[in-house]
Every structure is written in C-alpha cells, then in structure tokens.
C-alpha cells in the first residue's frame, strides 16, 4: 500500500494520499488550504488517479480545497452528516468571520458532489478497504479512517488510523469551537481510540505520525481517560 502526505503551508494541516500501489486509483484525505499544486505533483510522481476525497471533519483548514480538487478531478467528497453543513458554511465552526481570518480575502466554494459517511461502514474505494468510525468531540461529525497497513512505508503494523483532529502526537483536538464537546471527545477517546492495538500507526491531521501504544503511554489526555474512577464512599 502507498500512503504519502504533506502539510499545508497554512495551519500545517496534513493532506494524505492513499492507494494500493503506484499507478493505481487513490483517495485524498483532507485537502486543506493552498494544496492543489503540491497535490498534483504527488499524484504525478506516483502516477495516481483520484477516486474520492475523504474528510475527517468539516473545519475549513481541512476542507478549503475540496471543491476545486473534486471539481477538477470529477470525484465526490465524503463527510459525516453532522459536519455536512460546514461544507456549505464553514463560518459556523469559526470564532470569527473567515474574511477577517484571511485578511479580507476569502473565497470558498461548496463542493457539488457530497456523499455521507456512516459510522461503522466499510468503504471500498480505489481498491482500499476503509473503516469509518464516528468520533465526535472536536466537531460533531469527526471520524477516524482505519485501513490495513500492509507494507506501507515499511511499517511493522497491522493497521493505520487517519485520526484527523481527534488524536495528535501528545495531544488531542480542541473542543471549544462550535460543535465541539469535551464530554463527546472523552467518550471517543475511550471507545474509539483506546481499543485500537498498540502498534496501530496514527496519521493525525496536524503534526507527526505516532502510534496508539506511544500515546497510550504518554499522552496526558489518554492517561486521564484511563485513570481509575474512585471506588470508595457513597
């Protein structure tokens, strides 16, 4: 399997490209701000043909280029229904007007072809078997994408998890924006992240790759979730 990625120059959002092998179809995960040129270079380098865009959630730093990418390639975008409205109006998740965030210059287009993601479904796209786990907390429609690691990058692991802004190396996604919930995030960490095998490779929405085992041992937010509840007294 081929997995490659690169960060956007704006907000450092990781855009990933996943395929069974060079020269095959691929999926694009989280095309953020200003990534089109670099994305086309990656596709050409590996002779890849895009089949779909997958979105871990609806925040603008992960979705800004979804319409131009999908439009140019003639492919659909997949997002969880709870975040679908953010593709129509990304300002709903922001604490300020997007125009202010971008110095008064802001042009965003909603993608035409949007398909829903369902919790627990197994997507078969571009020859890949991708499991979708709904993991709200950062946003109401945040998801994890899990797929067999194979021989990707020489990893000695059975599974890869594209975690979006649910889990980072040493941290988790913020929960203080519209649609966020620390209660929901705690449940997602407990029920979606912690059950994964220690050797699972985590490819987050920002920052470097990590493993579930490393985060289980060192991530303060996971350690807090794992802390035993008091058992004495009324």
Q: What is the mean pLDDT of the chain?
A: 92
Model pTM above 0.75: yes
Phi, psi of 28 (to 5 degrees): -110, 130
Instruction: Assess whether pLDDT exceeds 90 at residue 95.
Output: no
* Gap between the Cα atoms of 137 and 41, Å rounded: 34
> Average pLDDT, stretch 201-221?
98
Q: What pLDDT is attached to residue 14? A: 98
Cβ count near 99 (within 10 Å): 12
CATH code 3.30.300.30 for 2-226: no
Q: What pLDDT is attached to residue 97? A: 60
Q: What pLDDT is attached to residue 85? A: 94
CB contact set of 99 (below 8 Å; sequence gap of 6+): 105, 106
Q: Kindly indicate the confidence band of residue 102, based on its pLDDT and cuts at 50, 70 and 90.
A: low
* Gap between the Cα atoms of 80 and 97, Å rounded: 24
Would you list the domain boundaries of the chain? Answer: 2-226
* Gap between the Cα atoms of 35 and 30, Å rounded: 10
* Gap between the Cα atoms of 71 and 132, Å rounded: 24
Q: What pLDDT is attached to residue 98? A: 57
pLDDT digits (tens, 9 = 90+) for 128-178: 999 999 999 999 999 999 999 875 566 778 899 999 999 999 999 999 998
Nearest CA among 109, 128, 1, 108 for reference residue 54: 128
Instruction: Assess whether pLDDT exceeds 70 at residue 216.
Output: yes
Is residue 60 within 8 A of residue 110, CB to CB? The reply is no
Q: What pLDDT is attached to residue 99? A: 56
Higher confidence at residue 96 or residue 163?
A: 163
Phi, psi of 204 (to 5 degrees): -85, 170
In this structure, what token pair is assigned to residue 169?
Answer: 């190396």
* Gap between the Cα atoms of 13 and 205, Å rounded: 6
pLDDT digits (tens, 9 = 90+) for 19-43: 999 999 999 999 999 999 999 999 9
* Gap between the Cα atoms of 20 and 26, Å rounded: 7
Q: What pLDDT is attached to residue 107? A: 72
Q: What pLDDT is attached to residue 7? A: 97
């Amino acid at each position: 399997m081929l997995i490659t990625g690169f960060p956007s120059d704006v907000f450092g959002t990781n855009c990933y490209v996943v395929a069974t092998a060079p020269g095959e179809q691929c999926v694009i995960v989280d095309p953020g701000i200003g990534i089109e040129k670099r994305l086309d270079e990656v596709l050409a380098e590996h002779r890849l043909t895009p089949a779909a865009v997958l979105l871990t959630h609806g925040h603008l730093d992960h979705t800004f280029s979804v319409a131009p990418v999908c439009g140019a390639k003639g492919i659909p975008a997949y997002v969880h229904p709870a975040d679908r409205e953010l593709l129509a109006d990304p300002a709903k998740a922001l604490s300020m007007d997007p125009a202010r965030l971008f110095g008064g210059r802001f042009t965003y287009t909603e993608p035409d072809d949007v398909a829903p993601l369902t919790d627990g479904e197994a997507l078969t796209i571009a020859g890949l078997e991708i499991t979708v786990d709904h993991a709200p907390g950062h946003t109401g429609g945040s998801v994890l994408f899990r797929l067999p690691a194979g021989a990707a990058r020489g990893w000695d692991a059975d599974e890869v998890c594209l975690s979006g802004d649910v889990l980072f190396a040493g941290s988790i996604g913020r929960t203080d924006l519209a649609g966020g919930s620390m209660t929901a995030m705690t449940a997602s960490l407990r029920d979606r992240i912690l059950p994964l095998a220690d050797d699972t490779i985590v490819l987050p929405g920002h920052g470097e790759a990590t493993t579930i085992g490393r985060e289980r041992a060192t991530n303060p937010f996971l350690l807090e979730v794992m802390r035993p509840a008091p058992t004495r007294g009324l």
